[in-house]
Amino acid sequence: MRKIILFGIFLYIFLLYNSIAQSIPLIPGNATFTVSSIILYPVDDYTGNKQYIGLFGDKTRIDILWNTNYNPESLDPINVTCWLNCNNSVDVTKCYGFQNCSYQGKTGPASCTIFSPNYNYSTINNITCKFFNPNYPNIEYRTSEGTYPQRVFYPIKYSVSVSGGIYQVGRTISLPITFVSYSFLNSNYTGFAYVQSTSFISIDNSYNTTNILKYSQIETVYPRITVIYSGRPGERTPLYINTTVNELPNCTTVDNCPNSTVIIQGLSSNVDRQCIEGKCQYIFTTEIGSAYLSLPEYGAKDLLLVFPLSILIFLSIFLLRKKMIKNNSKI
């Protein structure tokens, strides 16, 4: 009998609860989800222009700079790993084993350094970086194309231009050779101008070295050219200009030298490359003519000067001889 009474009480309470629960309206709930992201800001760079990954360095090191933050702002640290010459910007697990540097710390301006970098002088080089939140590794920075950010650069790249002129027999004028640096590495550039030994042209100050040039800096060197005698009408002589960069590694054969299309900016013609005395040299060839001039070579201004001077010299000699004859007659 007691069990029946207890079961009845339990059933009554259960039915009463269900009826009350059904009569209470449910209030709709709101949930807000914030997706965190990593932002990169431009920083200083060896080019003089702001870049999202800044680079500075020399043959002993590469300093890699950046400036990051979270959106929305967070006190979480950030992890950064950067690899040298990893050509896979989609899957950085393929970069493992390449030279790299890492950073873990606060967001904001920071850097890491790759020491003794193994530059590839025969092609374009790159730095690929992965930025991620160590507390939430799925939060990482990717470009709009879905790749990890990457910077490209050339360890050595430069342009050479030669300005011509009118070369008259017996006169010496400068031959401007202009170097423009597009290199990551600061370096001197050397130009050596020469002609064949049988040429009618002589070159002084033929070997010239620039100051140390940074990216986009320009310097002109000036070999001096003298036309010794006039060539035949239409005759021209080859002028060779050997150029080299002091920061290029030493070579034992020409195969050690990067192709000229990699080293020379804006290359419009074939340039001969050679390994000479352990240095890679890139040889340009141009031509110089004597402008069909013949000895003696005088312009209009020269004639205006020579004619009155000849008269003055003749009169001076005439008066001097007359005076000497007069003095002798007195004796």
CATH assignment of the domain containing 74: 2.60.40.10
One domain for residues 276 and 223? yes
- Residue 163 pLDDT grade (very low, low, confident, very high; cuts 50, 70, 90): confident
Q: What is the pLDDT of residue 170?
A: 76
Element (H, E) at 279: strand 279-289
Residues 96 and 176 in one domain: no
Residue that terminates a domain, selected from 153, 186, 205: 153
The pTM of this model reads 0.74
Q: Which pLDDT band, with edges at 50, 70 and 90, does 287 fall under?
A: confident
Q: How many domains does the chain have?
A: 2
Print the domain residue range for 96.
Answer: 37-153
Instruction: Specify whether 98 is located in the same domain as 175.
Output: no
User: Which 3 state secondary structure label does DSSP give 207?
Assistant: strand
Percent of the chain residues past pLDDT 70, beyond the cut? 71
Task: Let me know whether 187 and 143 are in one domain.
Answer: no
Mean pLDDT over all residues of the chain? Answer: 82
Asked if residue 245 is part of any domain, the answer here is: yes
Burial of 84 (C-beta count, 10 Å sphere; 0-12/13-18/19+) = buried
My answer on whether 211 and 135 are in the same domain is no
Which residue(s) pair with 209 in the sheet? 190
Decide which of 136, 153, 170 is a domain's last residue.
153
Find the angle CA(227)-CA(228)-CA(231) to the nearest 5 degrees. 75
Residue 99 within a domain: yes
pLDDT at 261: 82
Query: Over 80: is that where the pLDDT of 33 sits?
Result: no
Q: Given 153, 187, 203, which residue is the final one in a domain?
A: 153
Strands 136-140 and 100-105: unpaired
* pLDDT surpassing 80 at residue 216: yes
pLDDT per position as a tens digit, 47-94: 999 999 999 999 999 999 999 999 999 999 999 999 999 999 999 999
Same domain for 121 and 65, yes or no, is yes
* 11, pLDDT greater than 80: no
Residues 136 and 164 placed together within one structural domain of the fold? no
Q: What are 178's two structure tokens? A: 């202009």
Are 172 and 140 found together in one domain? no
For 84-101, the pLDDT digits (tens) are 999 999 999 999 999 999
